[in-house]
Structure 1
């Protein structure tokens, strides 16, 4: 039996590569004769560069950028030569991810470091840059990114969403000129607008540490930012991705693509699904939000087109059987249901391997 293993990261515990290896280890214990094909996945968030490096090869360059709170943080630039084009892949979460907030006031968290990543890519000779969006700890509408490229305004653009209060005048000309000739692509994990009921703060402000009662006022700051720059564009799908980094990249002329689609193409997911008898996917928390550009839904969709069953292994499963079917998942299994929450966090790889061994009893021939 051929089994394709294509999980996302298990946020805070396992990278996608580690998760795939843990699932494979557990599966082999139960079904050693099965042929396993490991295809770690990402949706633009944490792990995006690692997964693409595994799939595409290329050269990794470690650089230092400004983190969301101002301290220097390491980030990785992936350079890939293809058909005479030098493409760079960067991951916004490495410069301003939620895991970097620590004691930083989330209202002051800045995306400045993502702009620095673009400059590094440009200086390295890249002619196009793909920016993975997801796992963001900022909500500044991409103002920090644009400030790093030279944008000017009547407020400080590198002081987070709170710093945008009262903004009325913005000059993006220096930022656009700085990267003239560079082709930009945004790999999105969500397709929400910048502001409003379905905007970035409403969707993920509290996950980034912003108090619920502060969300309306800060959304007003983003409204002011949008009015000062390009109101129409702020309403487009994807503008609210990664705290508004999608909006900043759109202002620079970036095209958009779901991150899961980009990664699926890079790892030849459709072709590998057709060769498999069963497809396994997974993530830390499998819930109905997985339908919005997330890895399990994307993998299940590709598996469905290949007429292959797809099963999910997750840290937690927060949907019922009906919701699973809507997401294209035949069955979903939770680590915490098998070993308990404490054990799951104490030994995430071992616990996931245990779960995979248990699932193989049901699904392996």
Structure 2
């Protein structure tokens, strides 16, 4: 039997690569004669570069960039056949900053611009940026500054979202010239606009630490910036991704693409699914959000197009069979139900190995 294993990360416990390896180990312990292929997945957030590196190979370029609060931060860019893959959360990720130090009004995306600059200097003419997991809310102004954009007062673009209320003049021409002729793709599962009730500040700001009483003020600061840059692009789908990085990339001529579809195409997932008899995917929490452009629903869609059954192995399963079938999932299996919450969190790899072994008893020939 040919089994394709294509999970997302199990947030906080296992990377996508680790999850795929654990699932493969458990399956082969039960069914050693089966042919198992692992293809770790991502929707554009943390793990984006690791997943693509595991699937594509290529060269990893090590770079030290400016973190969201100004500290030196190590990051990598994946170079493969003229394309640079950039994981924006490596420079401005929420998880890089301890909860007590998070300051989304001051956090900057300057380091993301430095990653882009490093990719250009390495010769890349096509950029694919994975957006997700950011701790910033600066409309991508920091990225623009790192690529040469200027504003008045001097330095305001790299000072975080709240500082954008002070902008009196803006010149994007140097950044646009630097990216001339370069294809830019912003890979994200988020389609929110930059501003308003569905915008970056109001929807994603709270999880980054934006206080309720500051949302209107911070949204107004981004609106002032957009008025000077290009207000029409602020309403585009995905402009609010990663605290507005999607908007900044659109100012440079970038195009928003669904993260899961981009990665599926890059790793050849449709062909791999057609070559398999069964598809397994997984994530930390299989819930109602899984249907919104996440890895699980994306892999299930690919499996459905290949007319192959798809199973989900997750930390916890919070949807019923009807919701699963709507997403194209045949069955869902929970670590918590099998080993309990304490062991699922304390020994996630061993628990996932055991779950995969149990599932193989039912599904392997």
TM-score normalised according to structure 2 size = 0.94
User: Alpha-carbon deviations, 1:247-288, whole Å to 9, x = none?
Assistant: 111100012221211211122111111121211111122222
Give unmatched runs, 5+ long, in structure 2: none
Q: Is the 1:168–1:224 Cα contact (8 Å) retained in structure 2?
A: no
Match of 2:355 in 1: 355
Question: Is 1:110–1:158's contact at 8 Å kept on the other side of the alignment?
Answer: yes
1:126 and 1:255 map into 2 onto residues whose CA distance is 17
Matches within 5 A, 1:284-303: 284-303=284-303
Corresponding residue for 2:140?
Answer: 142
| Equivalent in the alignment of 1:216 | 216
Q: Does the Cα contact within 8 Å between 1:191 and 1:292 map onto a contact in 2?
A: no
Instruction: Say whether 1:123 aligns with 2:121.
Output: yes
In structure 1, the gaps of 5 or more residues are: none
Q: Which residue of 2 aligns with 1:98?
A: 94
Cα distance in 1 between the residues matched to 2:16 and 2:119:
24
CA contact (8 A) 1:101 1:109 kept: no
Instruction: Return closer, same or farther for 1:107/1:340 CA change in 2, 3 Å cut-off.
Output: farther
1:75 and 2:75 aligned: yes
CA distance in 1, matches of 2:196, 2:68: 24
Once the two structures are TM-superposed, the CA of residue 181 in structure 1 deviates from its matched residue by 3.0
Say whether 1:324 aligns with 2:324.
yes
CA contact 2:237–2:256 (8 Å) conserved in 1: no
Partner of 1:89: 85
Q: CA deviation at 1:74?
A: 0.6
Task: Describe how 1:1-365 pairs up with structure 2 within 5 A.
Answer: 1-81=1-81, 86-102=82-98, 103-155=101-153, 156-365=156-365
1: CA distance between counterparts of 2:229 and 2:140? 12
CA–CA distance in 1 between the matches of 2:362 and 2:214? 48
CA distance in 1: counterparts of 2:169 and 2:299, whole angstroms? 43
Question: What is the distance in 2 between the residues matched to 1:98 and 1:10?
Answer: 16
Return 353-362 or 207-216, whichever deviates more. 207-216
Shift of 1:142: 0.5
- How far 1:213 moved relative to its partner? 3.8
Shift of 1:168: 4.4
Separation (CA, whole Å) in 2 of partners of 1:334 and 1:221:
44
TM-score, with normalisation over the residues of structure 1? 0.94
The one-character-per-residue Cα deviations of 1:290-327 (angstroms, maximum 9, x if unpaired) are 22221111101111111111111112223222222222
Check conservation: 1:287, 1:319, Cα contact below 8 A: yes
- Output the CA distance in 2 between the equivalents of 1:204 and 1:328: 28
The 3 A distance-change label for structure 1 pair 151 and 292 is same
Asked if 1 retains the 8 angstrom alpha-carbon contact of 2:102 and 2:209, the reply is no
1:314-360 deviation line (CA, Å, top 9, x unaligned): 12223222222222212222222222222222212111112212222
Shift of 1:362: 2.6
- Residue 10 of structure 2 contacts residue 16 of structure 2 at CA under 8 Å; is this kept in 1? yes
Comparing 354-363 with 249-258, which one deviates more in the overlay? 354-363
When residues 316 and 167 of structure 1 are mapped into structure 2, their CA distance, relative to the original with a 3 A threshold, is farther
SS of match in other structure, 2:62: strand
CA 1:239–1:161 in structure 2 vs 1: closer, same or farther (change >3 Å)? Answer: same
The 2-side partners of 1:334 and 1:289 are apart by: 16
Quote the offset at 1:289 in angstroms.
Answer: 1.9
